[in-house]
Amino acid sequence: MKFFTSRRFYVILIISSIISLFLVLPMLLGLMGYDIFNRKPAMMPLPPKWLTMMAVVKQGLFYFVMVFILMTINTIEPRRVSGRHKAFFGFLVIVIFFFLYGLVRPEPPEHQQFKGRPETIEVPSMQERPVFPSKPEKIPGTGSSFRGGFNYRGMSELLFIFIITFLSGKVFELLNQKQQIQFENEKLRSENLQNRYDALLSQINPHFFFNTLNSLASLVREGRNENALRYIEEMSNTFRYTMQSSGKELVTVDEEMASASAFCYLFQIRFEEKLYFEINVDEEAKSMLIPVLALQPLIENVVKHNVITSDEPLTITITGNATGITVLNPLRPRKDKIEQGGMGLKNLKNRYKLLTGMDIIIENDGVIFSVTLPLVNPEMR
């Protein structure tokens, strides 16, 4: 039932009506006494007795049903039915309707009398014999001669319908793909805005802000002025990078690592002698591209979900080469409930897929938890 309420159904309905009307147009003009091909009044009586409105309607319905079936086949999503199968089923429909063609095509009574052979034929004398043309006479509106034979006109009409419906299906498919791309782009923009907002919110929420200022105050009280100045600088770099990422989708690994290093320093001061970072990224990786703000949520995720104490210090390792950046840590899950917020791993996974077309690799063997972010070659953009 969903098909009958979809946009696809109404498109097929309109196209089927237009094509069927176009095909019966010569018959409609014939009823009015015009020859569409010679652009002049027809030579036959107006209208011919064998051509009725009922015959035209019957022929139009025949075309409509056939076009509707073919359009339904050719507009099925490519992931469900391939183009080769669409062509095969379409040709099968054409063959079936070709054999039904003679049942609906209006035929002059004079044409029908030649289908049977009379038992006796009166042969006129030589003086009374009319002179027949060299070729069999054609009946207007039919595709065969008085002597019968293969219906070339009918076959040409059906092949025309087959080609038109197949091409219309391709156009419909391309328009759907364009619409899907536009939809994904809009979805991507929306998610990026939400992600950037979440990233900024996670850094300026009262809890984070309190911890940041508390760490800074500790450095000042202890007289560690150089560390305090660097802390302010790294905090500034972190906020600046987050705000400047607005409108960006991909950045170089070098830019992202610079922001991630500043982010790591804030956590190092907060968890002094409890949290350590080992960063080893190859030079060839620094010119590669990565979605903006991809590393910060991974670092935040490790800190949020693992136990970090003086007795059990935690080391977060960040490694990278030309193919990807990996963030890994030993598993020490916290037992207390963690408030969910910011950019979670699932959110990052969806955003990464939309931006790069690649999936992040998550590995968990019960001892080590790691996430690998595939990198994008700028030459492939």
pLDDT tens sequence across 206-255: 666 777 788 888 888 888 888 889 889 988 888 888 778 766 789 999 99
What CATH number has the domain spanning 205-380? 3.30.565.10
Q: Which of 90, 43, 48, 53 is nearest to 69 (CA)?
A: 90
Residue ranges, comma separated, of all CATH 3.30.565.10 domains in the chain are 205-380
Q: How many Å apart are CA 172 and CA 276, to the nearest integer?
A: 56
Residue 169 makes CB contacts below 8 A (sequence gap 6+) with: 71, 73, 74, 75, 86
CA atoms within 13 A on the CB side of 35: 11
Q: Do 327 and 375 contact (CB within 8 A), yes or no?
A: no
Mean pLDDT value across residues 4-9: 80
User: Could you give the residue ranges of the DSSP H alpha helices within the chain?
Assistant: 7-32, 53-74, 83-104, 109-112, 152-204, 206-221, 225-244, 253-270, 295-305, 345-356
357 pLDDT band (50/70/90 cuts)?
Answer: confident
Please give the residue that has the higher pLDDT: either 339 or 272.
Answer: 272
**Is 145's pLDDT higher than 70?**
no
pLDDT at res. 315: 94
pLDDT tens sequence across 76-103: 877 788 878 888 888 888 888 888 877 7
Q: Is 273 left (phi over 0), alpha (psi -120 to 50) or beta?
A: left
106 pLDDT band (50/70/90 cuts)?
Answer: low
Q: How many CB atoms lie within 10 A of CB 348?
A: 22
pLDDT tens sequence across 112-142: 444 444 444 454 554 554 444 444 444 444 4
Enter the pTM of the model.
0.50
- Cα dist from 106 to 46, 60, 141, whole Å: 16, 11, 8
Mean pLDDT value across residues 302-320: 91
